[in-house]
Amino acid sequence: MEALKLFKYSRTSTLIALSKIDEKEWDVQPSGYPNTVRWNAGHVYFTAEEFLNKADHKYKITHPEWKDLFLDGTHPDDWNDQAPSTSEIIEALKKQEDRIFTFFESKMNNAASEVLDIRSLMLDTVESSLQFVTWHEGIHLGIIKSLIIALKEK
C-alpha cells in the first residue's frame, strides 16, 4: 500500500508541475535538452503503462499508439504523426493514476507476469515494478522542473 501512496504523491507532483507550464511552451526544446515537456509527460505516461503491463499482463495498455512517440530513445524531432495535445496527456495521466490504484490495490505482493532485470535490479513483483515506475517518474519530474526554469530564462 505504501508503494501506491508514493506513486500517487509522485503523480500529483507531476500534474502540479505540468499545470504551471503554458501550453505554448510544451514543445519548446531549450538548448542542451534532448526533449520537451510534451515528450517527458508522454514518456512518463507510456513508461508506466509498459512496465505495469509487464508486471501484470491483465493490466491493459491504453493509448498504445503513443509508443512510437514516447518510447525511450525517441525525440520530438522524429515525430511524423501529430503528438497528443496537452489536455490529452494531462487527462491520460489523471486517468492512469486512478486505473493503477484501482487495478493494483490488492495485487502489490503478486509475482510479476514478466520478470525484468534492469542492470541487476529485479522487477519480479507488482510492487517492485510500481516502485520503479515511481522512481522513473521522479526523474522526469526533475527534468520537467528543469525545463520550466530553462523556459523562463529564454
One-letter amino acid for residue 95 of the chain: K
pLDDT band with cut points at 50, 70 and 90 for residue 71: very high
How far apart, in Å, are the Cα atoms of 120 and each of 52, 123, 124, 133?
19, 9, 11, 16
> Cell 507488482 belongs to which residue?
126
Query: pLDDT tens digit string along 111-146?
Result: 999 999 999 999 999 999 999 999 999 999 999 999
Give yes or no for residue 1 having a pLDDT over 80: no
pLDDT attached to residue 152 = 87
Q: pLDDT tens for residues 12-27?
A: 999 999 999 999 999 9
Q: What pLDDT sits at residue 123?
A: 97
At 80, the pLDDT band (50, 70, 90 cuts) reads confident
What is the per-residue pLDDT for 154?
66
Could you read off the pLDDT of 87-109 as tens digits, one per residue? 999 999 999 999 999 999 999 99
DSSP string covering the chain, please?
A: -HHHHHHHHHHHHHHHHHHTS-GGGTT---TT-SS-HHHHHHHHHHHHHHHHHHH-TTSPPS-GGGHHHHSTT--GGG--SPPPPHHHHHHHHHHHHHHHHHHHTTTTTSEEEEEEEETTEEEEEHHHHHHHHHHHHHHHHHHHHHHHHHHHH-
pLDDT(81) > 80: no
Q: Grid coordinates in use for 65?
A: 499508439
Contact (Cβ atoms closer than 8 angstroms) between residue 126 and residue 104: yes
The residue with cell 490529452 is 88
Distance from C-alpha of 42 to C-alpha of 119, rounded to nearest angstrom: 24
- Residue 69 has φ and ψ, to the nearest 5°, of -90, -35
**70-93 average pLDDT score:** 93
Whole-number pLDDT of residue 82: 87
Is the Cα torsion angle 114, 117, 122, 127 positive or negative in sign? Answer: negative
The alpha-carbon radius of gyration of the chain (Å, integer) is 15
**Domain architecture of the chain: domains with CATH:** 2-153 (1.20.120.450)
Q: Average per-residue pLDDT in the chain? A: 96
